[in-house]
Structure 1
Amino acid sequence: MKKSIIITVLFFGLIAQAQVKKWTLLECVEYALENNISIQQSELDVDLADIDKNQAFANFLPNLNSNASYNINTGANINPATNQFENTTFRSANGGVSSGVNLSSGFSNWKTLQRAKINKIASEYRLDKMKDDISLFVANSFLQILANREQLKVLRAQNVVTKENLKNTQDLVDAGVLPQGDLLELMATDATQAQQIIAAENNLFISKFGLAQTLQLRDYENFDIVDDEYGLVSAEILNRQASEIADKAKEEINDVKIAQTDFELAAKDLQIARADYFPTIRGFVGYNTRWASTQTNPFTGENIPFIDQLYLFDGTSVGFQLNVPIFNGFSVRNNVQRRKVSVERFKYQLEQAELDLENTVYQAYNDAKNSKKTYEAALKTEEARRLAFEYAKERYDVGLSNAFDFNQSRTAYENAQSDVVRTKYDYIFRLKILEFYFGLPITDLN
């Protein structure tokens, strides 16, 4: 019975392990865009901008307010119904409704609405930029996992060869063909490689851990990406001119768009500030009524009923209010001057953003071309080191070379293999960045 339980637990454990999800790059990016905290915060900024826009629309509407009050008066007080002083105790109430509308304010409301619309667009650009930044970060993290995993495979394969050589050398030392020092040299190499494998396993886990955190996942231990073997992505983007990519980037990348909307917002702020120079005209209409407990009919001497007082003592008001700014301690003037300075500042920031984008694209283009050359050089070096290692192995196997020289050749070959892995994924990421500036999806690694 106990044996059956153990077998059952192991069986379901293997099934659970087999069902661990393997994430693709596209899935990682899409999940990050839906769950990343920074993106969610940027979405809240868009919501706030939308509220501001709705309020700017509402500023054109008339307001409508009502009021009511109830009082118990003692001593000498003005009766609200008769407007006469009465030295007695009485109760009174009044109420009314009023409405007002802004008829003219130097187009301030109109400019505020325009600003709110631009601010909504700016917040959407910032959200898009945040998504772009997260997508790039996820892609880089994904490629780093691939590089670390391939590096680990290389180290393990190298250690397999070392262990085989160690076994063969042990036989030759036992036979008296090779000295004990050759065996010790290989044992040291095996131990060094074991340390390198442990470090590579740790680097792989850390890179997976980092990507899982970016995705807001908590199951760090089981997080993993697909086991597909990725080759080089298409290098067609390098066939285009850097200037063409830079022009396209100005349409696709949000940095310049954000700088442009910031400049437009500053210009609108200046227009709104200038509106304070103009008079404002406001129309209003109101209705009010009142009641007092001591109000009596002058003919009968009887108290006037509550309902009758409401229409006997009611009144309406209709009018216009004109405010003309004459002198306000230069506050309007100075505010306008501050807005002018702000416009100039954002104008320079826009120009700088365009220059920075051009510089970034040209740098990325140059990096991609150089990374291609570096990768191709690494491949040639690896092939040369492989041939040198095979030659050194042949000499070592027949006793024409010692273990130290053999290990030197092997180390050079292993370093060359590691360089190929490193330069390969660096080249892929450089190409993906360049494609990103050109508006191509970063999630395609085929």
Structure 2
Amino acid sequence: MKKLVSIVIVLITMSLQAQNKKWTLIECVEYALENNISVKQSELDVKSAEIDKLTATGNFLPSISASSSVNENTGLSFNPVTNNAQTTTFLSASGRINVGYTLFDGLRNIRTMQRAEISKLASQYRLDKMKDDISLFVANGYLQIILNKANLEVLKSQNEVTKEQINRTEQLVEAGSLPRGDLLEIQATDASEKQNIVNAENAVQISLISLAQLLLIKDYENFDIEDEGYDVVDLGISNKTATEIIQAARESRSEIKIAEQNVELAEKDLQIAKGSYYPTLSAFFGYDTRFTDATSFRQSIDPDNPFSTQQIGTVEDTGQAVVADFPNTITTETTADPFIDQLSQNDGIGYGLQLSIPIFNGFATRANVKRTKVNLERSRFQLEQAELDLESTVYQAYVDAKGSLKSYEAAQLALQSQQLAYDYAKERYDVGLTNAFDFSQSKLRYDNARIEVNRSKYDYIFKLKVLELYFGIPATELKF
């Protein structure tokens, strides 16, 4: 009983821990890389490429096949061993082993093997790109939750200030120091702030659900993230020039590597297609044997009367008879030899070379070669376009990061100014030198400034991480 109670307590504790778990960004990224469907599909593409490589390797090995048959014949049939027709019932069996090997096929097997290697590498690059994209999606969703939570905290903290102002204003109105309109103005501000808080809470919940769906986590209600300890962490990328980042991206980004591998694949396809112009030389070897349990008839010399004399002609001049001795044979029925003996007695071997020379196949080979040339040119254009797109994208990311940093710095300065203005307005309102409307407007500008600092901060963090990713820093090593 005590053991059962202990197990129940442990299970309850584990359940509570699971419900209270807060996911870190690294945990979210690693979980997504392990469970995301798109990543799993890319991993299957890598496995498929490995299978293609196995198939290409098998083309260098000889082909071996074996066959056998067992028959029972009744009536007039040919004995498979003696090849004599006989009317009887007998059992027969045959077996054959064939070996074939391609000696030369226009180097197509070699090219196919090389193509399989390139295809496997391209699949791995596509998997790496998919992981980078998923990592960025997760990071963006994660930072969006942090931003929404930070904005919610701003709204809640300022609403607490508003509630304090309502209590103080009520006292001043009752004392006759302030008009009732000031109280109504602050109460209206409180209602508006509460509405904004509800909207902010919904934004937090929606962003949490979006991230949970990206991670394939179905327990939306208990899903939450660790929203503390994330700040601007610059790994030195802000000191790099756009040219340095673009050059690093060309060397490390999977987009360029995938396009380069596609060019190499098209080149191999062209070489394979041209191989069809050449003859194919193959060697073959075959071994077969037979067995039957049918009886056979054999002719032998009659031991009692081995020879008989018969006239075969006459001498024309003398008329003398010409005679000769002929063997007297008798036919005897014999049983079949043992199975093992027949396997060696009835076996046969065949081997040789086979040469296939292509002469004309309706322009199929020529059309295929031309088609692969077009694909090669297309893949080269795609590589050139990928380089241009990457350069444009990286430069845009560089400009965005720089602009986002300036926006963040400007938002901080604006917040400092708005805070001074808010503190001044609060002091004036406390001594009755300004009305509630002017104080509410100052407070609203201060709240918006704090929200803008949060937005620009996390926008800069994300764009900075995008720039680091283009520079070649792995997604799992990004620091926040």
* Structure-2-length-normalised TM-score: 0.86
Structure 1 pair 119/406, CA: closer, same or farther in 2 (3 Å)?
A: same
Q: For each residue in 1:260-319, what CA deviation from the matched residue of structure 2 results, as whole angstroms up to 9, or x when unmatched? A: 111111111111111111110110111111233435152442132252333322211011
Are residues 1:302 and 2:331 paired?
A: no
Partner residue, 2:378: 345
After alignment, is 94-103 or 210-219 more displaced?
Answer: 210-219
1:9-48 mapped onto 2 (5 Å cutoff)? 16=16, 20-48=20-48
Q: For each residue in 1:7-28, what CA deviation from the matched residue of structure 2 results, as whole angstroms up to 9, or x when unmatched? A: xx9xx88993698222222222
After alignment, is 316-325 or 404-413 more displaced?
Answer: 404-413
Tell me the secondary structure at the aligned position of residue 23 of structure 1.
coil
Alignment equivalent of 1:365, drawn from 398, 422, 426: 398
After alignment, is 24-33 or 42-51 more displaced?
Answer: 24-33
Alignment equivalent of 1:407, drawn from 440, 446, 453: 440
How far is 1:355 from its partner?
0.7
Structure 1 pair 320/231, CA: closer, same or farther in 2 (3 Å)?
A: same
Q: Equivalents in 2 of 1:100, 1:13: separation in Å?
A: 67
1:382–1:420: 8 Å Cα contact kept in structure 2?
yes
1:175-214 mapped onto 2 (5 Å cutoff)? 175-214=175-214
Matched positions, count = 436
2:411–2:449: 8 Å Cα contact kept in structure 1?
yes
Tell me the secondary structure at the aligned position of residue 66 of structure 2.
strand
Tell me the secondary structure at the aligned position of residue 333 of structure 2.
coil
Tell me the secondary structure at the aligned position of residue 334 of structure 2.
coil
1:179-328 mapped onto 2 (5 Å cutoff)? 179-234=179-234, 236-299=236-299, 300-307=332-339, 308-328=341-361
Partner residue, 1:4: none
2:19–2:222: 8 Å Cα contact kept in structure 1?
no
Are residues 1:394 and 2:431 paired?
A: no
After alignment, is 48-57 or 154-163 more displaced?
Answer: 48-57
1:230–1:445: 8 Å Cα contact kept in structure 2?
no
1:246–1:362: 8 Å Cα contact kept in structure 2?
yes
- Whichever residue aligns with residue 194 of structure 1, its letter is K
Q: Equivalents in 2 of 1:41, 1:66: separation in Å?
A: 38
Q: Equivalents in 2 of 1:37, 1:172: separation in Å?
A: 62
How far is 1:254 from its partner?
0.4
Q: Equivalents in 2 of 1:221, 1:343: separation in Å?
A: 52
How far is 1:399 from its partner?
2.9
Tell me the secondary structure at the aligned position of residue 473 of structure 2.
coil
Where does the alignment leave 5 or more consecutive residues of structure 2 unmatched? 1-8, 300-331
Q: Which has the larger radius of gyration?
A: 2
Tell me the secondary structure at the aligned position of residue 22 of structure 1.
coil
Tell me the secondary structure at the aligned position of residue 282 of structure 2.
strand
Alignment equivalent of 2:457, drawn from 424, 428, 437: 424
2:295–2:333: 8 Å Cα contact kept in structure 1?
no
Where does the alignment leave 5 or more consecutive residues of structure 1 unmatched? 1-8
How far is 1:343 from its partner?
0.5
- Whichever residue aligns with residue 374 of structure 2, its letter is V
CA RMSD of aligned residues (A): 2.2
Structure 1 pair 85/271, CA: closer, same or farther in 2 (3 Å)?
A: farther
Partner residue, 1:125: 125
Structure 1 pair 265/52, CA: closer, same or farther in 2 (3 Å)?
A: same
Are residues 1:378 and 2:411 paired?
A: yes
* Bigger proportion of residues as strand: 2
Partner residue, 1:156: 156
Q: Equivalents in 2 of 1:88, 1:183: separation in Å?
A: 121
- Whichever residue aligns with residue 94 of structure 2, its letter is N
How far is 1:179 from its partner?
2.0
Tell me the secondary structure at the aligned position of residue 318 of structure 1.
strand
